[in-house]
Each structure stands twice: as C-alpha cells, then as structure tokens.
C-alpha cells in the first residue's frame, strides 16, 4: 500500500483527536479536570475506553504474531487472559472500595497514610519507572510499523518518527488531561473493536471462507491449543504458571497502577466504578479470543501464500510482531490496510495518551503536591467591605497560584514525553524479541515491589515499619529475583520461571518489609 495514503490517514486521524481535545477542554483546563475529570465521568464511557487502554498495540500485533511463533505458543496466551479476568474481579471488590473510601487522587497516597513518607515516595517512583518503560515498549511497537511502512519511504530516521508520534500525542492531551482522554479513548476503542471484526472478515474473504468455516479451520489447525499441562518445571506455558502470573500481573499493572485506576477514580460512586470494571472484564476476555483467532488465520493465510515471518532490520532475525502488518499492508487490498492501520493506531495511542496523563498526574500529586486545596479565607474583621476585599485578594492569589500550577504541569507533561522518547530509542537498540514478552518480563521486576508494599499495608496489622529502609528493600527484591531467575534451573531442579515471577518478587518484598518492622500497639483503620 502507498506510504502517502497511510500518512494522509494518520494526519487525518490526529486532526480528529486534536479537535476533540480542544472541544472537551474549552471550558476548563485546570488541574482538577486534568487529574480526575472533576469526578464526573460516565462509567460506561470509562469501561469502553479502558478496553483500548488495556489492550494496546501489543495485543493488536504481538498477540496474533505469537500464535504461530517457533516456540509453539498457539493459544496459550488465553491462559494468561483468564488470570487477568480473575485479577480484575479482585481489583473491583478489594482495591476500588479502599480507594473510594479514602477519596484518593493518587492511589499511592494510601501508602503514605498506611506505611509512611518514604514508602509512599518509593511506591510512586516504582509506578513512574514501570509505566514509563511499559508505555514506551507499547509505543515502540507502533512506531516500528510506521517507520517500516511509511517513514522509511521518505528517508525519515527512526528517532524522528518517535518524536513525531510523541508530539502528536502530547498535542491532544496536554490541556484537557483525563477529561479529554475519556472521550478520545472511547472513540479509539470503537475504532479498535471495529478493526478487529473487519480484519477477521477481510482475512476470511481472502481465504474464501465464511466466519463459521474460518473458526472450524482454526479449531482443526495446529494453532488452537489453549491449555498446557506438559513440563511443569521447564515450560513457560504451563497452565498454573500463566494463570497465577495473569492474576498478579493484573493486580499490579492495573490495580496498583495510577493509569487505569485514575479513570476508575473519576466516577461519582464506587458502584459505578465496579460496574465499569465488571463490564470491562467481560469485553476484554471476548476480544482477546478474537485477537488469537486473527493470529491463527494470519498463519493459515501465510502458509497458503508462501509468506515468511518478516525479518527485523536491526537483528536480522524473524520477528513475529511484523507478520500482521506485513500481510495487512502488503498482501491485502487498500481497505483492509486502512482498517489495520486504524486499529493499530487507535490501540497504541489510546494506551500512550492515557499513560502520559497518569504519569503527569502521579508526579504532580505525589512529588509536587498539586492536589492540596487552597487554604480557606480566615476573616479577622466583621467589616463587610474589608471581608469582601480580603476575599477578592484571596481569589486573585488562588487564580495566580492555579495558573502557575497548570504551567508547571505542562512542563512535567513535556518531560515525561521526552523521557519516553529516550526509553524507546534505547529499547530499539537492544530488543530482539516479541514486545509482549518484553513488557511482561520487565513488569515482573518493576511491579513486584508494589505487590509487596500493598500486601503489607492491607494484611499486616500492629506492626510499624522502619520507613527509611523501604526503598532499599524495593531495590534488593528485584535484584534477588533476577539472580533467582537466572539460576532457577540449577537451584530449583530445572524449574523455569514465567510471568509468575512477579509473585515471587512481591513475596520477597513482603518478607523484607516484615524483617524491618516491629510490633506496635497501634491498630490501623485502613
């Protein structure tokens, strides 16, 4: 497909998002709007928009690509998705009631009130690091597709493509924040879901199959195996490993992550937030079945037409992430190609715009303390004119302070965009595997300490922490996990860790926190 057509589509797509952004932020662009949308979001819009945020371009490209990977993945990813579903239910019934009871803007404020100042800053820092890396990985995936199929034709270097992508995202998120994101993500999720079903239709048509025949072909192919019970010690795909890993990765990467929780906290009541999570969970599971089905059909199509897995330009190795874009953009007609680009763009930018907003919110609230309300006016006189003058003076000072805070928030937003740019450039230089593998591998190390911190806060009573030692524990735990993972075959009789490593990381952190705590007579109320 012509790079000029794809570029024109991309420009038009972002013009729509920018128009929406300015329309939604026209009346108010203060920090309360940016951080939590004035706690006035509609649960059904949030539920639908969260699908696009949670799925991302990784699900759109990397999950279908993994179906026919040389390692024989097939539909094993669905085991992980079942764990995700259980994790979402735990979040809705355990964590959300806690967050709403405390009326939090940043979910890490819980750690401050429960464990202390240094624990709070540690938790917020873990999120900033984890989400920056994870979101950079997700954006990297769409950028390499844009580079390969559009910008290489114009001689534009990879770093410029990354900068252009981040600049476009910044342009429609910097003003309205979460209020804008809820609307744009709803639109982008619609495009994502539409593209999944249309892609299935177009691939089936190219294979001369109707939908029932296609699913029968998938069932009878070598790609449809879901549950793996062989080689518990050495297999990454063993059912219990994937299920347990899916549960705790979800709790950590969603329930303990400011990004997706920020949307839940923007609703009026806990009931609406829980309806949002339950609805989101059901749609999330169903959509992943369709993504896996797309993957199987892609490999059936590639086999029939003699298409090899494309090679990575950097490593020269086969890269399953490229199979979907290769077939959609080079082997199908113009309309399927546009549908593919629509879904990919919607999935990836829905994730990245949300992440940039959450990163900005967390830093502004957790480190710059912008959620603190202005002090009320205290009148020392009963004279009405003096009181009115004092109120005007206080309002002028508050307006000036608010404008300064918004300006500072804009700078933070730019800083995280640039930081994400640096991470993507580094990742591009060293990555040689599927992005979905890279994301969950990193998450096992970075999000594990958050599991330990929240578990200690929720389940340990009448023990006080040596708060200043908490950052050290949260550094030691991932380091020990790395050593354990590298030597697990020798130390554990051939056992090989998969995504369940995040649970081990959380457990090590929890034990470390117990070791630096002591009994106290104080009973926490949380």
Residue entry with tokens 């998002």: 17
Residue 489 is predicted with a pLDDT of 87
Query: Which pLDDT tens digit goes with each residue over 68-91?
Result: 887 778 899 999 999 999 999 999
Residue 31 is predicted with a pLDDT of 52
Measured CA to CA in angstroms, residue 140 lies from 163, 289, 443, 497 at distances of 11, 24, 16, 26
CA–CA separation, 193 vs 190, rounded Å? 5
How many beta carbons lie within 10 A of that of residue 401, not counting itself? Answer: 11
% of the chain beyond a pLDDT of 90: 19
CA atoms 315, 317, 320, 324: torsion sign: positive
Query: Which pLDDT tens digit goes with each residue over 376-429?
Result: 444 445 555 665 665 666 555 555 666 777 778 778 888 888 998 998 888 777
Per-residue buried b or exposed e for 270-281, using 16+ beta carbons within 10 Å of the residue's own CB = bebbbbbbebbb
Query: Which pLDDT tens digit goes with each residue over 424-460?
Result: 888 777 765 556 666 777 788 888 999 999 999 988 8
Backbone angles phi, psi at 41, to 5 degrees: -80, 150
Q: Give the start-to-end residue ranges of the domains of the chain.
A: 3-370+392-433
Instruction: Collect all residues with Cβ–Cβ distance below 8 Å to 405 and sequence separation of at least 6.
Output: 31, 364, 370
| Average pLDDT rounded to a whole number, residues 97-110 | 85
Q: DSSP per residue over 166-232, as a string?
A: HHHHHHHHTTTTHHHHHHHHHHHHHHHHHHHHHHHHHHHHHTT--HHHHHHHHHHSTT------S-T
Query: Which pLDDT tens digit goes with each residue over 312-336?
Result: 776 777 888 888 888 888 888 888 8
End-to-end CA distance of the chain: 57
Give residue 472's pLDDT band: very low, low, confident or very high (50, 70, 90): very high
Average pLDDT, the chain: 81
CA atoms 149, 150, 156, 161: torsion sign: negative
Helix (H, G, I), strand (E, B) or coil at 463: strand
Helix (H, G, I), strand (E, B) or coil at 312: coil
Give residue 11's pLDDT band: very low, low, confident or very high (50, 70, 90): confident
| Residue with the larger pLDDT of the pair 22 and 455 | 455
* 58-67, 174-183, 436-445, range with the lowest pLDDT: 174-183
Structure tokens at 281: 């969970």
| Average pLDDT rounded to a whole number, residues 483-512 | 90
Residue 373 is predicted with a pLDDT of 47
On whether the CB atoms of residues 127 and 257 are closer than 8 A, the answer is yes
* Superfamily (CATH) of domain 3-370+392-433: Sodium/glucose cotransporter (1.20.1730.10)
Radius of gyration of the chain (CA): 24
| Average pLDDT rounded to a whole number, residues 117-124 | 92
On whether the CB atoms of residues 135 and 351 are closer than 8 A, the answer is yes
- Counting Cα atoms < 13 Å in the Cβ hemisphere of 167 gives 7
On whether the CB atoms of residues 312 and 322 are closer than 8 A, the answer is yes
Residue 375 is predicted with a pLDDT of 44
% of the chain beyond a pLDDT of 70: 83
Run of H or E including 408: helix 384-430
Residue 222 is predicted with a pLDDT of 82
């Amino acid at each position: 497909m012509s790079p000029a057509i794809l570029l024109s589509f991309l420009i038009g797509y972002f013009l729509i998002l920018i128009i929406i952004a300015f329309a939604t932020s026209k009346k108010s662009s203060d920090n309360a709007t940016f951080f939590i949308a004035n706690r006035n979001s509609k649960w059904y819009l949030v539920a639908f928009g969260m699908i696009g945020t949670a799925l991302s371009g990784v699900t759109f490209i990397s999950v279908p690509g993994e179906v026919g990977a040389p390692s024989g993945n097939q539909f094993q990813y669905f085991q992980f998705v079942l764990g995700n579903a259980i994790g979402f239910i735990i979040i809705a019934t355990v964590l959300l009631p806690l967050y709403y009871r405390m009326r939090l803007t940043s979910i890490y404020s819980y750690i401050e009130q429960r464990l202390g100042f240094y624990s709070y800053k540690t938790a917020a820092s873990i999120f900033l690091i984890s989400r920056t890396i994870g979101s950079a990985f997700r954006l990297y995936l769409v950028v390499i597709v844009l580079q390969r199929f559009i910008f290489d034709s114009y001689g534009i270097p990879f770093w410029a493509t990354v900068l252009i992508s981040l600049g476009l995202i910044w342009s429609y998120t910097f003003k309205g924040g979460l209020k804008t994101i809820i609307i744009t993500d709803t639109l982008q999720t619609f495009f994502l879901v539409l593209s999944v079903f249309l892609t299935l239709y177009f691939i089936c048509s190219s294979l001369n199959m109707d939908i029932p025949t296609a699913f029968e072909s998938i069932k009878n192919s070598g790609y449809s195996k879901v549950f793996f019970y062989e080689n518990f010690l050495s297999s990454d795909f063993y059912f219990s490993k994937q299920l347990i890993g899916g549960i705790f990765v979800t709790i950590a990467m969603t329930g303990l992550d400011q990004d997706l929780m920020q949307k839940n906290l923007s609703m009026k009541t806990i009931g609406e937030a829980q309806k949002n999570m339950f609805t989101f969970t059901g749609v999330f599971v169903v959509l992943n079945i369709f993504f896996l089905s797309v993957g199987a059909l892609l490999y059936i199509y590639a086999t029939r037409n003699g298409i090899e897995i494309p090679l990575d330009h950097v490593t020269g190795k086969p890269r399953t992430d490229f199979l979907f874009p290769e077939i959609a953009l080079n082997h199908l007609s113009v309309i399927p190609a546009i549908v593919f680009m629509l879904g990919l763009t919607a999935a990836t930018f829905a994730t990245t715009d949300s992440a940039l907003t959450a990163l900005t919110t967390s830093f502004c609230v957790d480190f710059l303390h912008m959620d603190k309300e202005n002090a009320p006016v205290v009148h020392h006189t009963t004279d009405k004119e003096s009181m009115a003058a004092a109120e005007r003076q206080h309002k002028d000072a508050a307006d000036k302070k608010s404008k300064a805070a918004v300006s500072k928030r804009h700078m933070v937003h730019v800083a995280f965009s640039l930081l994400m740019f640096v991470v993507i450039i580094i990742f591009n230089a060293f990555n040689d595997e599927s992005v979905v593998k890279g994301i969950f591998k990193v998450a096992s190390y970075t999000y594990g300490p958050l599991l330990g911190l929240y578990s200690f806060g929720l389940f340990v009573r009448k023990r006080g922490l040596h708060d200043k030692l908490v950052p050290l524990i949260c550094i030691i735990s991932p380091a020990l996990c790395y050593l354990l993972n590298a030597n697990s075959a020798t130390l554990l009789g051939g056992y090989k860790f998969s995504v369940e490593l995040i649970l081990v990381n959380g457990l090590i952190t929890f034990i470390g926190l117990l070791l630096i705590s002591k009994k106290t007579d104080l009973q926490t109320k949380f």
